[in-house]
Structure 1
Amino acid sequence: MSKPKISIITVNYHQREVTGELLRSIQSCTYPNMEVILVDNEQLGDDTPFYQEILPKVQVINSETNLGFAGANNLGMQKATGDFFFFLNNDTVLGEGVIETLLSGFSIPDTGAVCPVIRYAENPEKIQFAGFTPIHPLTGRNSLDQMLSDQPWKESYYFHGAAVLIPREVVEQIGEMPEEYFLYYEELDWSQRLRDLGLKIQVGQEVSIMHKESISTGKNSPLKVYYQTRNRILFMRRNANSFFVFLLFFLLISLPKNWLKLRQAHAKAFRRGVLDALVFQKSGWTDPVEFSIPR
């Protein structure tokens, strides 16, 4: 019986050595029917020879502009020919048997996407992701579920963008990854589109990948603060049952709290995120250099 074709899509952003480690792990996989598409974001040269020395059949797409996480993945999907899209962060390491196990999750009725457990590369015993809780209607935040159950599969409210397998036919129904976010919250919004169709998200608890978290943006950088702040508001505007209730909580509780506790650079990034979301209604890319300039 033929195996469905898997299109592995990953995005590099000035981290070719890190991406090379992912390609080496993919090279070790024995799944017989897959293609690998690498979108090299904001690439003014061409590192294709470097990547193809590691994985000869990798397809490299060079983008001179920074398309963001969603835009780059969408570009990869446009070139992909697989029956399934397997989105993998470039700072992950893929293990043997992950693809086969994840495919088996689609035997569960109404499943629209599946994820593996995600573990911290620096401490593989520690789980980063085994599911997501729903977004809270007041705070606009949710939590990572980091506990395993005694079942092979567990339903999650959202999937994790670092590693998710989605059938092509589902993407054709929900549309491409939303590019308004540029960075952060896009997979939560995309997950919501999937759930709006009555489909479910499953986490395969018997397989995992390793993740070197936040290599591109830094674990607690002003860049991360800006996009998470702006996109939290954008997500709630698009998806909350009562955006006004969230906005009231945000302005009276969250904004004063964060304004006082954040360090100067982070406070400026937080302020920019709030202003761009509520006043200027800005989405997409924002130059991170501007975070250091008072507005």
Structure 2
Amino acid sequence: MMPEQKGLLSIIIVNYHSGNLVLNCIQSILDHHVAPNFEYIVVDNSNSHQDELMICNRFPFVQWVDMGYNAGFARANNAGMRLAKGDAFLLLNPDTIALDQSIAVCYQQLKAGNFCAAGVQLLDAAHAPQISGSRFVQGGLNHLLPIPYWGAFIRWAAYSAGSKAPGVQDVASEQQVDWISGAFLMVQRNAVATAGLMDEDFFLYGEEVEWCSRLKKVGQLVLFGNLKIIHLEGATINKSQNIQEQGYYNLYDRKGLQLMVSNHLRVRKQYGVGWFLFLLLNYTWGWLFFLLCSTVYETIRAANPFKQGKKVFAFGRNVARLWFLTPAIMRNKPRFYKMF
């Protein structure tokens, strides 16, 4: 890493064909806070000279880092952190909009408190609260919830047993969590020096959760509910992959495959082989359960029993690909799990 400069916040934004979003993001920060104690690092995964010219011409103070390939979230942010000079790093999505001086205040509160990382209240475009952080669920069992039919049954069983949702959507004034959304994740430099950088096996999804599990061994992670920022969830990846559905419940396309692989990879790294295999077997059974339940459901409705056949096939194909990767994931040797 570069030599540390006290009192400096390094803002790291990863660009992937999202030049206009990056422009709007940086401009929103400048609209509320024009100060010399921020440095801006844009790490480019798209090899887009057009985005570079557009962003650097408008904001010549931006440090532009060209990865030369689509390196994903972890590798790109690591490249930014290695170049950063601040005593804290802010990993900030390009599809975020600052509303006020929340970034500056978050930095001040982070440095003043006994925390190694901090987040804020994320809002959607309509200013409704989004999940900004979460508590860990043993073995990553929450990753079973998106499975069609089987996930709904697990959710019902969990709520019947008195379980509470782990995600924190309405943040208290100061609330400790196990992990913070990578859309806005501010980390103390000294905590990164102890816990290490993000795991570069990850391409996208799950990397900040695994990273936070290591950061949490260093110190406390906190959300500041009094600070807010807009997050246009999934805007960048959905646009680049021509995906209409937002959120993380679509398991039928390449984004769904990436989610499945990254979540299983995270569980393997954080909880071990046993929990990884437990999730994998549940996904396999979940595909069979999906096939059975969808056929019965459509038959009862006097509709085509194979009406959901395309989704059943697509989900099964992704499960098969996950099985193909299982030996490598279990060995836990360095490998870049890029599914896009």
Taking structure 1 as the reference length, the TM-score comes to 0.85
SS at match of 2:205: coil
What is the CA distance between 1:106 and its match in structure 2? 3.8
Q: In 2 relative to 1, CA 212–263 (structure 1 residues): closer, same or farther, beyond 3 Å?
A: farther
235 and 167 in structure 1: CA distance in 2 versus 1, 3 angstrom threshold = same
If each structure's helix is expressed as a fraction of its own residues, which one has the higher value?
2
Task: Give 2:181's aligned amino acid.
Answer: H
- Please state whether the residue corresponding to 2:104 is helix, strand or coil: helix
Q: Which SS does the other structure have where 2:283 is aligned?
A: helix
Q: 1:81-230, aligned counterparts within 5 Å?
A: 81-103=85-107, 104-109=109-114, 111-121=115-125, 123-124=126-127, 126-137=128-139, 139=141, 141=143, 143-149=166-172, 152-197=173-218, 199-218=219-238, 219=246, 220=250, 222-230=253-261
Change (3 A) 1:66 1:60: same
Contact 2:267/2:275, CA 8 A, preserved across alignment? no
* Residue identity matched to 2:322: G
Contact 1:116 1:205 in 2 (8 A): yes
Q: Any residues of structure 2 matched to 1:227-242 within 5 Å, and which?
A: 227-240=258-271
| 3-state DSSP of counterpart to 2:49 | coil
Structure 1 residue 263, shift from structure 2 partner: 4.3
Partners of 2:103 and 2:286 in 1: how far apart? 43
Aligned ranges 1:267-278 → 2 under 5 Å: 267-276=316-325, 278=326
What residue number does 2:60 align with?
56
Contact 1:84 1:167 in 2 (8 A): yes
Query: CA offset at residue 44 of structure 1?
Result: 4.9
Q: Which runs of 4+ in 1 moved over 6 A?
A: none
Of stretches 88-97 and 216-225 in structure 1, the one that deviates more from structure 2 is 216-225
Partners of 2:24 and 2:16 in 1: CA distance: 14
Over aligned residue pairs, what C-alpha RMSD do you find? 2.4
Between the aligned partners of 2:337 and 2:266, the Cα distance in structure 1 is: 16
Find the residue that maps to 2:13 and give its secondary structure. Answer: strand
Give 1:292's aligned residue: none
CA distance in 1, matches of 2:204, 2:45: 13
In the aligned structure 1, how far is the partner of 2:49 from the partner of 2:312? 37
In the alignment, what sits opposite 1:293? Answer: none
User: Post-superposition shift, 1:170?
Assistant: 1.0
Instruction: Mark the runs of 5 or more structure 1 residues left unpaired by the alignment.
Output: 289-295
Q: Residue 190 of structure 1: CA displacement?
A: 0.6
Q: Which amino acid aligns with 1:206?
A: N
Equivalent residue in structure 2 for 1:265, among 307, 310, 314: 314
Q: Distance in 1 between matches of 2:101 and 2:95?
A: 19
The 2-side partners of 1:79 and 1:175 are apart by 15
Equivalent positions of 1:272-291 (< 5 A) are 272-276=321-325, 278-281=326-329, 283-288=335-340
Report SS of the residue matched to 1:217: helix
Q: Is the 8 A contact 1:85 1:168 kept in 2?
A: yes
Matched residue SS, 2:167: coil
1:287 CA displacement:
4.7
Secondary structure of residue in 1 paired with 2:138 = coil
Which residue is 2:11 aligned to? Answer: 8
Displacement of 1:39 in angstroms is: 0.8
> So what's the TM-score if we normalise by structure 2?
0.75
Shift of 1:19: 1.6
Percent identity of the aligned residues? 26
**Alpha-carbon spacing, 1:91–1:245, altered in 2? closer, same or farther (3 Å):** closer
Is the radius of gyration larger for structure 1 or structure 2?
A: 2
The amino acid across from 1:268 in the alignment is R
C-alpha distance in structure 1 between counterparts of 2:92 and 2:129, whole Å:
17
2:43 counterpart (28, 31, 39): 39
Give 3-state SS (helix, strand or coil) of 2:179's partner: coil
Q: CA deviation at 1:246?
A: 5.2
